[in-house]
């Protein structure tokens, strides 16, 4: 039985994708909040 490297298996990449997608979504949300006009706030 040969041992495959960690980067060849599915689960490490799947578990890494969830926090990485959250960071990207957070950055997009911050960018939208900075760039758009707050029309109802006076």
pLDDT higher than 80, residue 1: no
pTM given for the model: 0.69
Which pLDDT band holds residue 38 (cuts at 50, 70, 90)? Answer: confident
pLDDT value at residue 42: 66
pLDDT digits (tens, 9 = 90+) for 8-30: 999 999 999 999 999 999 999 99
Pairwise CA distance, residues 19 & 24, whole Å: 9
Residue 25 Cα to chain centre, angstroms: 6
The reported pLDDT for the residue numbered 41 is 67
Q: CA dist 37 to 27, 28, 29, 32, 33, Å?
A: 18, 16, 14, 9, 8
Whether residue 5 is predicted with pLDDT greater than 70 in this model: the reply is yes
């Amino acid at each position: 039985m040969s041992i495959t490297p960690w980067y060849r298996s599915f689960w490490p990449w799947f578990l890494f994708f969830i926090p990485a997608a959250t960071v990207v979504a957070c950055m997009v949300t911050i960018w939208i909040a900075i760039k758009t006009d707050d029309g109802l706030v006076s």
